[in-house]
Chains A and B, each alone.
Chain A
């Protein structure tokens, strides 16, 4: 069971996050201010941390910076109402691993925490295998069983990203940031869906077991286990 430390001063927000993470099988500790959060982080060595930026006593970024100076490598998701690009960059520079702007969807928070906890498959591999899927990173070819998949460069990157995080919910925001390198929300809301639809059309042929699943209202998942 993964242990998560949440440092958040707003009790209602914290309550909702704790409840959601507990439902998903995480063990959650909650600290209401920066100093208490720092002490708990040092004492209990959690598997991941969720840190709000604006905290009483000691602000979130200082907490992260102090931990990083102490050589604590725990993955950290920064929460903040400050959503400007400069704020995000600063949050990540100070030692945050991911940044989520308030208000956020709980499903987004959980997906990002899971992504932080499950490091992607060893990056040194040159051929990825997920179920019947095989992706050759050198040859830039993709196969499903004996069938060759004809993918466009962007689709190849998308499939690679999903295979490295199989069985993990990937939200549209995560895909936009990681695969498309978008720093903003596009006006066309179905942008990801259209691209995903085309990839799914190529990956899941007629009569084949569906690998790419749409999780309603949340995002997508590549399931290796049926």
Chain B
């Protein structure tokens, strides 16, 4: 079964095809070499006998008989033939019995069968011969055996055939080895994939040390598995977070109802208990709603509402909403907004993100503090920053605040569900902007956006919604550049409720 699989495997079939092609090529090469060699040797022998016959023809008649005898005597290999005949065709000298039939006596070389004076042992050889009639009517015939040409060619052929066999075998062996190797790798991948399917999410495909396409594919798949594992873990932790965070308000509701059922003596007391229970349920629902919203935004299904948005108008609207809130809490709310800053995005979502940041800043800033909302723009970037005189976000908490439901221990008792910054991060990521969290003391969160022009391409860039490290002096590079080049033209409107 394994052998059949091997023979049927694509790699082996390819190797077989390559070996066959190689064999055909070698055979064709051999044929080419054979015919070229044959042509060359025959042509060479033709030139030789043509020179010899011219030499014989130019000799005086008296010397021809001796010249032919000498010529044949010097032929140690017995491949030369010569004959001198009178006009009647009677042999005068040489080793040819008679003038070959069919031989044109015009000095052109042709292949003929010779009648030899001494019969050969094996067979009558095929000979290239040339004949010419001399002055006085004599005929001279010169020939040369070309069998040795065939011998040389067959030797070359044998050599090639001997070389072909090991090469063909090598091809087949290489094919079999590659096929087996590929099969083993596929088998290993199959086993690991089955383990992954069975729930072992930590399992990865073998990448090996080589840099072949198989290893690259395994690398890509492993990257995908890493991402999936992260997402599944996040999902699992979200499930835990929901369960954990819903437990608290639901426990409160349960206790309130339990106590109310036992202790409430008057309608007012029962109503108070019910109000508390409803508040707890509302808190639970707020968590669920915020989570669903977060999922909706993170699923990137909201790009349909994208358009040209005036960021400065959004900031002014946020200010309009939160001014009374800040005043109510005796917090000074300052604003510095550059005009006509347009970005490509979803107006409602951007409003929600900025409102969330201002909301947080006001919530965490103690009474008597200040919150600053600013918008600066230069070249193709815009920077929305919300800073406050509250405790800020410490180095250790910077990543944590973006996690769902994270609530700083110091803020355990402030209202909210702990999803604000996660929502902001999701909205920022959807837009392809960047969220920058500044160092404590004092809160500072910035959204670095791409203004109109750069914005459309920004939505296609890889989003960076993660918290970024900031310069320790709390000032963004952009801002420092702005200060280095002189202050940008800002329209200032400060609202101070102190």
A residues adjacent to B (C-beta < 8 A)? 83-86, 101, 103, 105, 152-154, 180, 183-191, 194-195, 197-198, 217
Contacts and interface: CB of A to CB of B under 8 A. Distances in A.
30 contacts: A83-B289, A83-B292, A84-B296, A85-B302, A86-B301, A103-B281, A103-B285, A105-B278, A153-B320, A154-B320, A183-B348, A183-B352, A184-B293, A185-B286, A185-B289, A186-B359, A187-B356, A187-B360, A187-B363, A187-B417, A187-B420, A188-B363, A191-B321, A194-B324, A194-B325, A194-B328, A195-B324, A197-B324, A197-B328, A198-B324
A194 B333 CA distance: 16
What are the 10 tightest A-B residue pairs by CB atom distance, in nearest-first order?
A183-B348, A194-B324, A187-B359, A187-B416, A84-B296, A194-B328, A188-B359, A184-B352, A194-B325, A198-B324
Contacts of B293: 84, 184
A217 B325 contact: no
Interface of A is mostly: loop
Interface of B is mostly: helix
A103 to B, nearest CB: 6
B345 to A, nearest CB: 14
Contacts of A188: 322, 325, 359, 362-363, 415
B272 to A, nearest CB: 11
A103 B292 CA distance: 14
Contacts of A154: 320-321
Contacts, number: 58
Interface string B351-365: 010011001101100
Given A186-B359, A194-B328, A217-B278, 12 more contacts: A85-B296, A101-B289, A103-B285, A105-B278, A153-B320, A186-B356, A187-B416, A188-B363, A188-B415, A194-B325, A195-B321, A217-B275
Most chain A beta carbons < 10 A, residue from B275, B286, B292, B325: B325
Contacts of B286: 185
Contacts of B301: 86
B373 to A, nearest CB: 15
Contacts of B359: 186-188
Interface string B285-323: 110011011001000011000000000000000001110
Contacts of A83: 289, 292
Nearest to A188: B359
Nearest to A86: B301
Contacts of B289: 83, 101, 185
A84 B415 contact: no
A185 B348 CA distance: 12
A112 B301 CA distance: 29
Interface in B198-228: none
A187 B292 contact: no
Contacts of B302: 85
A84 B416 contact: no
A22 B55 CA distance: 139
Interface string B246-286: 00000000000000000000000000000100100100011
A82 to B, nearest CB: 9
B321 A180 contact: yes
Nearest to B274: A217
Contacts of A184: 293, 348, 352
B325 A191 contact: yes
Contacts of B285: 103
Contacts of A185: 286, 289-290
Most chain B beta carbons < 10 A, residue from A85, A101, A105, A189: A85
B177 to A, nearest CB: 57
A154 B363 CA distance: 22
A190 B326 CA distance: 12
A158 B290 CA distance: 26
A131 B252 CA distance: 44
A94 to B, nearest CB: 17
Nearest to B423: A184
Contacts of B281: 103
A65 to B, nearest CB: 21
Contacts of B352: 183-184
Contacts of A101: 289
Contacts of A152: 320
Nearest to A198: B324
B284 to A, nearest CB: 10
A153 B317 CA distance: 11
A91 to B, nearest CB: 15
A154 B281 CA distance: 31
B333 to A, nearest CB: 13
A188 B416 CA distance: 8
Nearest to B293: A184
Nearest to A102: B285
B275 A187 contact: no
A184 B356 CA distance: 10
Contacts of A105: 278
A84 B299 CA distance: 12
Given A103-B285, A217-B278, A187 B324 contact: no
A186 B324 contact: no
B355 A186 contact: yes
A183 to B, nearest CB: 5
Contacts of B324: 194-195, 197-198
Interface in B367-425: 415-417, 420
Nearest to B419: A187
Interface string B45-82: 00000000000000000000000000000000000000
A188 B417 CA distance: 11
B348 A84 contact: no
A17 to B, nearest CB: 17
A154 B356 CA distance: 19
B321 A187 contact: no
A29 B324 CA distance: 44
A61 B286 CA distance: 26
Nearest to A196: B324
Contacts of A103: 281, 285
A189 B415 CA distance: 8
Contacts of A187: 356, 359-360, 363, 415-417, 420
Nearest to A184: B352
A139 B368 CA distance: 37
A195 B321 CA distance: 8
Nearest to B415: A189
